[in-house]
Amino acid sequence: MAHSASPRSTYALDALNFFLADVRDGLGPYLAIYLLAVHHWEPASIGLVMTLAGLAALVTQTPAGALIDRTRGKRLIVAVAALVVTGSCVILPFINDFTWVALTQAFSAAAASIFAPAIAAISLGMTGPKAFTRRTGRNETFNHAGNACAALLAGGFAWLFGPVAVFYLMAIMAVCSVVAVVAVAPGDIDHQMARGFDPAHGEQASGWRVLLSNRSLMLFALCCALFHLANAAMLPLVSQKLSQFDLSLATPLTSACIVAAQLVMVPAALLVGARADRWGRKPLLLAGFAILPIRGVLYTLWDNPYWLVGVQLLDGIGAGLFGALLPLVVKDLTAGTGRFNVSLGAVTTAFGLGAALSNGLAGWVVQEAGYSAAFLTLAGIAAVAVLLLLALPESLDRSSTAS
């Protein structure tokens, strides 16, 4: 089924990915630095706030995907979610109570859960399945470029105005994303195509049991959960180590970590867009997963801040490949069912569970045994994910990508 979007919508989707980059991932390590440096919170309390935010995202991911499958108001939902994130950022500098900080971050995380399935749906609805791989690579390229740009600005503003400037920067990015999504022409989105529905599979979308009986999808979700259980806490831990080295440099060096990784993610995403239909998904997935345990071990070898920033480059390979491949693998495993977005939401829920538990687990290990023990624990979990991924069959149906 061929489908072609207007140039205006194509460029608007590029802009949406660029501006949402900083918004969809949340405040993350910047929040950890802010709470540590300004309010002198304990690492365990910081980890708990981030865990609660992750849990809020966890319970909303699958319903968000189901909503995107059903609605034609995808653009409106993205705009509303971006405004909720904006509000949670703007209010944060005026509160320091644990309960209120946790609530604002939970609301922000719940709203942000809409972005991944919405962007995937809009992209699939604009391009169709045959061009989806290249569009996904392009999405991730703009996403990483936006993250790198935002991190550079965050580092500069934090140096000039303090850690609080990061919150206002994120709010500005959220507002810009609203402008971008409004610029996407409604008529350029095929909503049946956007949910991965093929009439050849029946007159209606498949039921939930189709997903629950899909063993490959379940195994992939488990691998994703373990990947994020290992990955989510690594950068916040590095940020805390940098704070101990020099508090004034913590935010700029954290921004350097993010920029370094994002710059590597750009060619990684482009590689997926250009080669995933030729090489298959699994070789690239294995490469992305295998980087993570190596990175966890390397963090323990030296406390030098420039070494830590250098090791963070490896995150660009792992996360860059994973981010671009995630919607492709889910599309492959649910082809024709009409359940693409809810499946993407369900898999995102699985790795959201891993990410939510990651910071709490890492914070506890740091308090009990130190930072090196925490990094090695995360590396061990990542190694288990690699072993499980070996059992996942190749998802690409080459006949569906043949021109």
Question: What tens-digit pLDDT sequence spans the chain (403 residues)?
Answer: 445 678 899 999 999 999 988 777 666 667 777 777 777 787 778 878 877 887 888 889 889 988 998 889 999 999 999 989 888 878 887 888 888 888 988 898 899 889 989 999 999 999 988 889 899 999 989 988 888 888 788 778 877 887 778 878 888 888 899 999 999 999 899 888 888 776 555 545 545 566 677 889 999 999 999 999 999 888 888 877 777 776 666 667 777 777 778 788 889 989 998 999 999 999 999 999 999 999 999 999 988 888 888 888 888 899 889 989 999 999 898 887 778 888 888 888 888 788 878 888 898 998 888 889 999 999 999 999 999 999 998 888 766 555 4
**Residue 390 is part of a domain; what is its CATH number?**
1.20.1250.20
Residue 307 lies in a domain: yes
Please indicate, yes or no, if residue 140 is contained in any of the structural domains.
Answer: yes
pLDDT of residue 204: 52
Question: How confident is the model at residue 303, as a pLDDT?
Answer: 81
- Nearest-angstrom CA–CA distance, 389 and 247: 39
CA-CA distance, 383 to 378, in Å (whole number)? 9
| Per-residue pLDDT, 16 | 95
Instruction: For residue 280, report the phi and psi dihedrals to the nearest 5 degrees.
Output: 95, 170
Q: Decide if 2 is inside a domain.
A: no
Cβ(33)–Cβ(163) under 8 Å? yes
**Among 197, 200, 207, which residue's Cα sits nearest to residue 128?**
197
> Is residue 122 one of the residues assigned to a domain?
yes
Q: What letter represents residue 192's amino acid?
A: Q
Q: Does residue 46 lie in a domain region?
A: yes
| 1 within some domain | no
Domains in the chain: how many in total? 1
- Residue 293: per-residue pLDDT: 95
Q: What are phi and psi of 185, to 5 degrees?
A: -70, 130
Place of tokens 């250098």: 310
Range of the domain at 89: 7-401
Strand, coil or helix: 336: strand
In a domain, 346, yes or no: yes
Q: Long-range contact list for 313-317, CB < 8 A, 24+ apart?
A: 313/260, 313/261, 313/264, 314/264, 315/231, 315/234, 315/235, 315/261, 315/264, 315/291, 316/144, 316/260, 316/261, 316/262, 316/263, 316/264, 316/265, 316/268, 317/264, 317/265, 317/268, 317/287, 317/288, 317/291
Instruction: Determine the Cα–Cα distance for residues 175 and 170; give it in Å rounded to an integer.
Output: 9
What's the confidence (pLDDT) of residue 239?
79
* Residue 1 confidence (pLDDT): 46
- Position 365 scores a pLDDT of 92
Can you give the pTM of this predicted structure?
0.79
